[in-house]
């Protein structure tokens, strides 16, 4: 009944009455919350008492509670695959408004499930060895953190870095917001430890070119990017059990927005260029003068339909950090902060924002699709440039004097992220960020078992979140290494050797690279640990030589037949 979730739209007693009259059905019960402990106990008790050998639960989606009920079956000593769920909540009570028709549909769904479950076979899960070595791709703050976490626990880590230094984008930053810790301090300790660690092998100027295998048993090939010296030209093969991808981000190319004249006006610079000035200790215009007016423009490339629709999350606080750094370097300087919305969501951010207000930073708001326009000032003005803005909070058309304009460039997915996604077999969203297996509950896992993602290659995020993800990914892997073996779901497909002609259609189609071709037998073979049971190969096989376990043709057809009986 799911409380009233189902019962308010489906006459559950009528459904139970109908089902109990079906052939092969021993017992049909209703219960207020079947997923609750008493509900599960009821199932276990009934299995024992009535010697039941197949169970159907008509409730919510299997995504939600299939695991719950399967464990109830296991407790009663029944194979967990002799179970089927009929979804009469999401696919019935929640989406219909007519009780009579919804009840009829529920009957059909349950009848279909009963027809199907009759053909279910007991299946056994398989388990494979877990190789304790880990491959970490990317040597930024996420990669170094994850590598140290794993190596400190005694595992070998292969850290592959594209550049000839560690630290990634963070190595280009001076201070961090909002506590103004030095980024260098954060990194140096990490980098030194990684370089000295006996269990970490760092590959500089390298990339992973091939990754094969499956969870616990991957094989990776690491190529040196610059194959000039002969000993480096040779690719290195490594054996690993898990992979963490933390390849980071690249900054938005500001010259794409013509309004800002980046690349044309000499004193329009990006946040990273300002960062460089701050690190050299000289904030000045191109002709070497200390700027009197500095304007900071937010959301460059972010939060717009034209470029990236998402928020880059770190720029607001970084902009306030710049206001602080410029003001402390030159107290005479006037700073205007031209923003769309101030996103001060994190710990200590709101206080930092307030401090910036106290320092009399001038905050000006522009409308998302009405960007400021930067002009060169005339010689009689006391500034280099004038920024025209339709100020949203006052409704006034204003112009802001500026000697130096800082563009807060947003984050975007790296150009090579597609290539990486293909190699490690993970997916990307429309913006090129890697996709988590669940955005809330599985933030660092991917749809490929054994491949984890962390940091800004997943989405824009700040340092604390990046570090948290890196540690989370490392912790997930450590837990698996500790178990030494890993259980794989029994829902995989099998090649029926007597039918396979070795045409290799399925090899190309498998989205998980789970099908290998056995040269000696001239037949395809499915690696059960890698197979997700999606069924693409089953459907594609011209000689019906592949069987999707738990999704056999007979089972599916029986279910469909069941639907149409009513």
Partner 1 sequence: MAIRVNPKFIDVLGRFGAEDVQLCYQCGDCSTVCTRADELYRFPRKSMHLLQMGLEQKIETTLEPWLCYYCGQCSEQCPREADPGETMMSLRRWLISRYDFTGIARQFFRSRTTEVLAVIIIGILTGLFLLFYGFSGGNINVYDGAGAFLPSTFIHKFDLTIGAVLAFFLIINAIHMWYLVMVKGTQFEVPWWIYFKQFYQFPWHFFTQKRYSECEKKQQHSIYMPWLLHLGLMLGYVIMLVLVMVFIENLQAGPEIQWQVHIFGYLATIGLVAGTIYFIRSRLTKKYIQYKKSHGTDWMFIVLLFIIVVTGIAQHIFHRTGLLGPANITYVIHLMAVVPWLLRMPFSKWAHLVYRPLAMYLSSVRREAFARQEVVSELYPVFIK
Nearer to partner 1, 111 or 334 (CB): 334
Decide whether 394 or 501 has the Cβ nearer to partner 1.
394
391 binds partner 1 (CB under 8 A): yes
Q: Which of 138, 140, 372, 401 binds partner 1 (CB under 8 A)?
A: 401
Residue in 66, 239, 273, 399 binding partner 1, rule: CB under 8 A: 399
Q: Is 346 in the site for partner 1 (CB under 8 A)?
A: no
Region near partner 1 per CB under 8 A, out of 247-255, 399-407, 493-501, 549-557: 399-407
Q: Does 334 bind partner 1 (CB under 8 A)?
A: yes
Extract the tokens encoding 554: 């007979």
Q: From 311-319, 320-328, 351-359, 412-420, give the range in contact with partner 1 by CB under 8 A.
A: 351-359
Write down the least CB distance from residue 293 to partner 1, Å. Answer: 8
Taking CB under 8 A as the rule, which mask of x and - marks residues 82-111 in contact with partner 1? ------------------------------
Applying CB under 8 A, among 88, 183, 342, 488 the residue interacting with partner 1 is: 342
| Alpha carbons 388 and 259: distance in angstroms, whole number | 10
Burial class (CB in 10 A: 0-12, 13-18, 19+), 293: buried
Cα–Cα nearest to 307, from 255, 262, 268? 255
What angle, rounded to 10 degrees, do the helices at 62-75 and 37-50 form? 50
For position 365 contacting partner 1 by CB under 8 A, the verdict is: yes
- Per-residue CA distances from 169 to 56, 184, 248, 275, 463 (Å): 53, 11, 8, 11, 11
Q: Is 228 an interacting residue with respect to partner 1 (CB under 8 A)?
A: no
388 binds partner 1, rule: CB under 8 A:
yes
Cis (ω within 30 of 0) for the bond into 199?
no
Q: Judged by CB under 8 A, does residue 370 bind partner 1?
A: no
Is residue 353 close enough to count as binding partner 1 by CB under 8 A? yes
45 vs 357, which CB is nearer to partner 1?
A: 357
Nearer to partner 1, 276 or 292 (CB): 292
Q: Is 378 in the site for partner 1 (CB under 8 A)?
A: no
Q: How many residues does the chain have?
A: 566
Q: How far apart are CA 345 and CA 351, in angstroms?
A: 11
Please tell me the number of Cα atoms within 13 Å of 271 on its side-chain side.
32
Q: Is 346 in contact with 464 (CB distance < 8 Å)?
A: yes
With CB under 8 A as the contact rule, the residue among 336, 417, 523, 555 that binds partner 1 is 336
Q: CA angle at residue 420 from 417 to 425, to 5 degrees?
A: 120
- Give least dist CB 385 to partner 1, A: 13
Structure-derived torsion over alpha carbons of residues 472, 477, 481, 485, reported in degrees to the nearest 10: 130
DSSP, res 102: H
Helix residue ranges per DSSP H, 345-484: 349-358, 417-424, 463-483
171 near partner 1 (CB under 8 A): no
Using the contact rule CB under 8 A, the part of the chain among 105-113, 398-406, 409-417, 533-541 near partner 1 is: 398-406
- Assign residue 511 a region (left: φ > 0; alpha: ψ between -120 and 50; beta: otherwise): alpha
Contact criterion met (CB below 8 Å) for 246 and 146: yes
The half-sphere exposure of 333 on its side-chain side, counting CA atoms within 13 A, is: 28
290 near partner 1 (CB under 8 A): no
Question: Closest CB to partner 1 among 168 and 401?
Answer: 401
Among 357, 501, 543, 554, binds partner 1 (CB under 8 A): 357
Beta strands 206-214 and 200-203 are unpaired
CB 126 within 8 A of CB 475: no
From 121-129, 130-138, 350-358, 444-452, span contacting partner 1 (CB under 8 A): 350-358
Is 315 a residue that touches partner 1 (CB under 8 A)? no
C-alpha distances (whole Å) from 339 to each of 19, 264, 311, 343 are 62, 22, 12, 10
Nearer to partner 1, 335 or 445 (CB): 335
- Binding to partner 1 by residue 234, rule CB under 8 A? no
Q: Does 273 bind partner 1 (CB under 8 A)?
A: no
Shortest distance, CB of residue 384 to partner 1, whole angstroms?
Answer: 14
Closest CB 531 distance from partner 1, rounded Å: 55
Q: What is the DSSP letter of 92?
A: I
Residues that bind partner 1 (CB under 8 A): 293, 334, 336, 342, 353-354, 357-358, 360-365, 386, 388, 391, 393-394, 396-401
């Amino acid at each position: 009944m799911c409380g009233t979730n189902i019962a308010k739209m489906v006459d559950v007693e009528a459904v139970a009455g109908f089902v109990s009259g079906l052939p092969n059905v021993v017992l049909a019960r209703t219960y207020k919350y079947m997923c609750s402990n008493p509900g599960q106990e009821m199932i276990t008790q009934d299995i024992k008492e009535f010697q039941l050998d197949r169970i159907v639960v008509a409730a919510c989606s299997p995504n939600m509670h299939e695991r719950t009920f399967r464990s109830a079956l296991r407790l009663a000593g029944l194979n967990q695959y002799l179970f089927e769920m009929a979804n009469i909540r999401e696919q019935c009570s929640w989406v219909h408004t007519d009780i009579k028709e919804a009840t009829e549909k529920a009957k059909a769904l349950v009848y279909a499930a009963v027809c199907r479950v009759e053909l279910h076979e007991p299946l056994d899960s398989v388990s494979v060895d877990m190789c304790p070595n880990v491959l970490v791709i990317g040597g930024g703050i996420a990669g170094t953190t994850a590598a140290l976490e794993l190596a400190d626990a005694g595992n070998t880590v292969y850290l592959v870095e594209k550049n000839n230094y560690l630290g990634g984008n963070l190595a280009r930053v001076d201070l961090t917001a909002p506590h103004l810790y030095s980024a260098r301090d954060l990194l140096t300790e990490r980098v030194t430890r990684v370089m000295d660690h006996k269990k970490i092998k760092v590959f500089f100027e390298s990339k992973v070119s091939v990754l094969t295998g499956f969870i616990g048993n991957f094989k990776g090939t690491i190529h040196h990017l610059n194959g000039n010296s002969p000993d480096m030209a040779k690719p290195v093969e490594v054996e690993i059990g898990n992979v963490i991808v933390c390849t980071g981000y690249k900054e938005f190319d500001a010259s794409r927005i013509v309004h800002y004249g980046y690349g044309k006006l000499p004193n329009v610079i990006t946040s990273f260029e300002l960062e460089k000035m701050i690190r050299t200790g000289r904030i000045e215009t191109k002709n070497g003068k200390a700027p009197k007016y500095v304007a900071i423009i937010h959301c460059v490339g972010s939060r717009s339909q034209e470029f990236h629709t998402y928020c880059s999350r770190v720029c607001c606080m970084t902009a306030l950090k710049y206001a602080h750094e410029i003001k402390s370097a030159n107290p005479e300087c006037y700073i205007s902060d031209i923003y769309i919305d101030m996103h001060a969501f994190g710990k200590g951010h709101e206080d930092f924002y307030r401090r910036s207000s106290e320092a009399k930073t001038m905050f000006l708001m522009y409308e998302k699709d009405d960007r400021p326009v930067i002009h060169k000032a005339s010689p009689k003005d006391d500034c280099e440039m004038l920024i025209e803005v339709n100020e949203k909070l006052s409704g006034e058309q204003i112009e802001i004097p500026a000697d130096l304009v800082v563009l807060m460039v947003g984050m975007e997915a790296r150009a090579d992220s597609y290539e990486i996604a293909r190699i490690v077999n993970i997916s990307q969203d429309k913006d090129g960020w890697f996709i988590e297996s669940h955005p809330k509950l599985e933030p660092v896992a991917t749809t490929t078992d054994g491949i984890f993602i962390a940091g800004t290659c997943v989405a824009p995020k700040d340092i604390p979140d990046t570090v948290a993800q890196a540690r989370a990914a490392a912790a997930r892997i450590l837990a698996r290494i500790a178990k030494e073996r890993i259980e794989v779901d029994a829902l995989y497909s099998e090649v029926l050797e007597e039918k396979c002609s070795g045409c290799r259609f399925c090899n190309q189609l498998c989205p998980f690279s789970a099908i290998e071709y056995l040269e000696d037998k001239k037949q395809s073979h499915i690696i059960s640990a890698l197979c997700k049971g999606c069924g693409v190969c089953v459907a594609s096989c011209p000689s019906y030589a592949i069987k999707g376990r738990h999704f056999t043709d007979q089972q599916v057809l029986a279910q469909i037949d069941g639907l149409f009986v009513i």
